[in-house]
Amino acid sequence: MTSNTWPDLDGIAYGGDYNPEQWPREVWDEDVALMREAGVNFVSVGIFSWALLEPKEGLYEFGWLDDLLDLLHANGISADLGTPSVSPPAWFFHQYPEARVTLKDGTVMGFGSRGMASHAAPEYREAIARMAGALADRYASHPAVVMWHIHNEYGVPVAEDFGPRAVASWRRWLQARYETLDALNDAWGTAFWGQRYGDWEHVVAPAATPTIANPAMKLDWARFTDDQLRECFRIERDVIRERASQPITTNFMAHQSWNTDLWKWAREVDVVSDDHYLWAPDPDAHVGLALSADLTRSVAGGNPWILMEHSTSAVNWQGHNVAKRPGEMRRNALTHLGRGADGIAFFQWRASRSGAEKFHSAMVPHAGPRSRVFREVAGLGQDLKALADIRGARTTAAVAVLYDWESLWAHDLEWRPSDDLQFRERMRAYYERLWRDGVQVDFAHPEADLSGYRMVVAPSSYLLTAEAGRNLEAYVEAGGTLVVGAFSGIVDEHDAVHAGGFGAPLKNALGLTIEEFLPLRAGETCHVAYGAESIETDVWAEDMALAGAEVRGTFTDGPGAGLPAITRHQHGTGVSWYVGTRLSVSALAHVFADAYADAGLTPASAPEGVEVMVRTSGAEDFVVVCNHTDDAADLSITGTNALTGAQVDGQLTVAGGDVAVVRTAAGEWGGGR
């Protein structure tokens, strides 16, 4: 069947994971009444229900789900129907003990939690296909069902599987990729440490090894692991697709996942959906939220997406589960919306009394509906109703930030020049600079068409293929402005250092290569003279071999004293900047001010701590203004506040912690675009 590309729903999708099987039947009636009160129109059901749906192999009990879907439908609430493949029942593992996942050290996972199935096990693959088929046969035309939600957060809690079936499938995967052992030996550089393979049966998985395993093997293993998960997704998706026309999704975890290459995954789903949880140790966790939302929209190709899970208040799985303070949940939700989400959902509807997540917040907390959290949940429901017209509006960005999961995987392998130079930390720092400057960004793959962007930023592109190098070079040549962070363009797709040395694929674009890395000791700092500034920096220095680049910043002390730290290079009609050290968010401001000028970009003029996001329907813009500070902030803008209906005549005042959404003429808020 052909699929729809959005669930058949009016307005913004609003709701959460709903697990009524944890509650007596009479609670369900209260639930739907409260959902109506809160403006909920969309709930995800059945994600963990396998043991109830198939209590014994081949014995299906759909009665309770029939009742539930009927009840939801009667109350005007739509269902995102889950397939329960993340949590097969106890009988399954009893019957098929080989279908359990094996950890690196050989430990076979036991039952009593979730996510312990081996994605390589044929018994698991058959069982998930049967279950998905049975659900689709029964509910493909149920009027409550508007979307299918396959599995849950692929790759969590366990992605890698070192069991014998997984290893056999790894060998098949390698044969398909390399065809000959010579090609594999070449790609993995097995001449090193005498690792040459003479027989496919001898090829092992990177399990427990005395010292570090072959990095190229580990990088392929990460690709294989990701592929295995995607294969299992496809099995369920295709079975459902044969029977049903509702769109199919699975919930991603954007910047918080490691195992899934979302550029690939996004091509497999009808609707991109994402889960995001604030990271409590981060005092500016809302910046990480914005990054995650922009990344999700970008993998979705700019199409609207659904925030499938976030929390109304505290989670339960961090060391210090910080509760959200009044207004914070609303700011979080509307930031996701401002960055392209047309659906806002939570984990979960009603807090569980039992089990591992009883201290996790919910839309209906343990305190019940007469609580601050529920009042805010209902308030958000009202907001989203008022914002129904934003649906489908797009985001335009003048800047692309390069993000590549393969580079993350490769960068995170062991024995790098410095443990302190990290992909995620650098990504966040460069993103945060752009966020603080009010510059709207998309994320892009390094081999993507970048011609539509005025500026491209590559915070951390350790693995950069020769093709990506040519792409960036052509981008600059044609007039683009490129900003590249340290330790980029170092290895190819096999984690082998590029012929021509460190940075060789970017040599023409940047006008330099790197002769030697000069990392600092833990905690050490040094300084860079940049114009009239002396900028403190840490972690990284290096010795560049200039090939035309102009030196704009020089190390004044530390291991690189006297050597170039920051360069600018004119190539074709464009300009490249290179930052050969680890600059803080505030230090990056100096370089970005100059790079914006090269790109002809004007950062937005919003007050500090006020986040402005623009979605456009073409004819009009929706300007979402989120005030993260405690003080009122003023913005120059004209339009109508969609949340209050008030006219905004040239000046908008947003109270501390508040959010406004102004409908304006297209292009009214031009900053940072």
CA–CA distance, 332 with 325 (Å, rounded to integer) = 11
Nearest approach in angstroms of CB 359 to ligand GLA is: 10
- Which helix (H) or strand (E) covers residue 634, if one does? strand 633-641
Binding mask 198-217 for ligand GLA (x = CB under 6 A): --------------------
Q: Which of residues 274-303 bind ligand GLA (CB under 6 A)?
A: 275, 277
Indicate the residue among 277 and 530 with the shorter CB distance to ligand GLA: 277
Q: Which of residues 330-349 bind ligand GLA (CB under 6 A)?
A: 347
CA–CA distance, 402 with 424 (Å, rounded to integer) = 12
At 232, list the tokens: 């299992």
Q: Is 80 in the site for ligand GLA (CB under 6 A)?
A: no
Nearest approach in angstroms of CB 321 to ligand GLA is: 10
Q: Is 153 in the site for ligand GLA (CB under 6 A)?
A: yes
Indicate the residue among 259 and 616 with the shorter CB distance to ligand GLA: 259
Q: Tokens 């957060």 sit at which residue?
A: 153
Q: Is 360 in the site for ligand GLA (CB under 6 A)?
A: yes
Indicate the residue among 275 and 598 with the shorter CB distance to ligand GLA: 275
Indicate the residue among 14 and 277 with the shorter CB distance to ligand GLA: 277
Indicate the residue among 251 and 465 with the shorter CB distance to ligand GLA: 251
Question: Burial of 528 by CB count in 10 Å (0-12 exposed, 13-18 middle, 19+ buried)?
Answer: buried
Q: Is 93 in the site for ligand GLA (CB under 6 A)?
A: no
Q: Tokens 């910043």 sit at which residue?
A: 553
CA–CA distance, 26 with 30 (Å, rounded to integer) = 7
CA–CA distance, 421 with 538 (Å, rounded to integer) = 10
Nearest approach in angstroms of CB 251 to ligand GLA is: 6
Indicate the residue among 197 and 279 with the shorter CB distance to ligand GLA: 279
The residue type of 265 is W
Q: How long is the chain?
A: 673
CA–CA distance, 378 with 644 (Å, rounded to integer) = 16
Question: Burial of 532 by CB count in 10 Å (0-12 exposed, 13-18 middle, 19+ buried)?
Answer: exposed
Binding mask 467-496 for ligand GLA (x = CB under 6 A): ------------------------------
**Active-site residue (options: 153, 473, 611, 620):** 153
Q: What is the CA radius of gyration of the chain?
A: 26
Q: Is 260 in the site for ligand GLA (CB under 6 A)?
A: no
Indicate the residue among 101 and 457 with the shorter CB distance to ligand GLA: 101
CB within 8 Å of 317: residues ≥ 6 apart: 357, 360
Adjacent-strand bridge partners of 610: 627
CA–CA distance, 73 with 19 (Å, rounded to integer) = 16
Near ligand GLA by CB under 6 A: residue from 271, 314, 315, 399? 315
Nearest approach in angstroms of CB 22 to ligand GLA is: 13
Q: Apex CA 277: angle with CA 275 and CA 281, to 5°?
A: 155
Tell how far CA 655 is from the center of its chain.
Answer: 30
**Cis omega before residue 559 (within 30°)?**
no
Nearest approach in angstroms of CB 387 to ligand GLA is: 25
Instruction: Map residue 564 onto helix, strand or coil.
Output: strand
Candidates 487, 498, 494; CA nearest to 458 is 487
Indicate the residue among 157 and 301 with the shorter CB distance to ligand GLA: 157
Order of strands across the sheet that contains 550-555: 441-444, 399-402, 455-458, 481-485, 574-579, 564-571, 550-555, 525-530, 533-538
Indicate the residue among 363 and 421 with the shorter CB distance to ligand GLA: 363
Q: Is 309 in the site for ligand GLA (CB under 6 A)?
A: yes
Nearest approach in angstroms of CB 262 to ligand GLA is: 15
- Which helix (H) or strand (E) covers residue 35, if one does? helix 25-38
CA dihedral 335→336→337→339, nearest 10 degrees, is 90
Q: Which of residues 511-570 bind ligand GLA (CB under 6 A)?
A: none
CA–CA distance, 322 with 313 (Å, rounded to integer) = 8
Nearest approach in angstroms of CB 51 to ligand GLA is: 16
309 part of the active site = yes
3-state helix/strand/coil string of 260-299? CCHHHHCCCCCCCEEECCCCCCCCCHHHHHHHHHHHHHHH
Indicate the residue among 153 and 404 with the shorter CB distance to ligand GLA: 153
268 part of the active site = no
At 109, list the tokens: 């996972």
Instruction: Map residue 445 onto helix, strand or coil.
Output: coil
Instruction: Map residue 80 onto helix, strand or coil.
Output: strand
Nearest approach in angstroms of CB 152 to ligand GLA is: 5
| Contact predicate 145/139, CB 8 Å | yes
Nearest approach in angstroms of CB 103 to ligand GLA is: 20
Nearest approach in angstroms of CB 310 to ligand GLA is: 9
Indicate the residue among 272 and 659 with the shorter CB distance to ligand GLA: 272
Q: Is 152 in the site for ligand GLA (CB under 6 A)?
A: yes
Candidates 219, 176, 225; CA nearest to 465 is 219
Candidates 536, 506, 531; CA nearest to 520 is 536
**Active-site residue (options: 236, 309, 473, 620):** 309
Binding mask 102-141 for ligand GLA (x = CB under 6 A): ----------------------------------------
Give the number of residues in contact with ligand GLA, rule: CB under 6 A: 9
Nearest approach in angstroms of CB 69 to ligand GLA is: 20
Question: Burial of 74 by CB count in 10 Å (0-12 exposed, 13-18 middle, 19+ buried)?
Answer: exposed
Candidates 571, 546, 403, 401; CA nearest to 476 is 571
Binding residues for ligand GLA, rule: CB under 6 A, are: 152-153, 275, 277, 309, 315, 347, 357, 360
Instruction: List active site positions.
Output: 153, 309
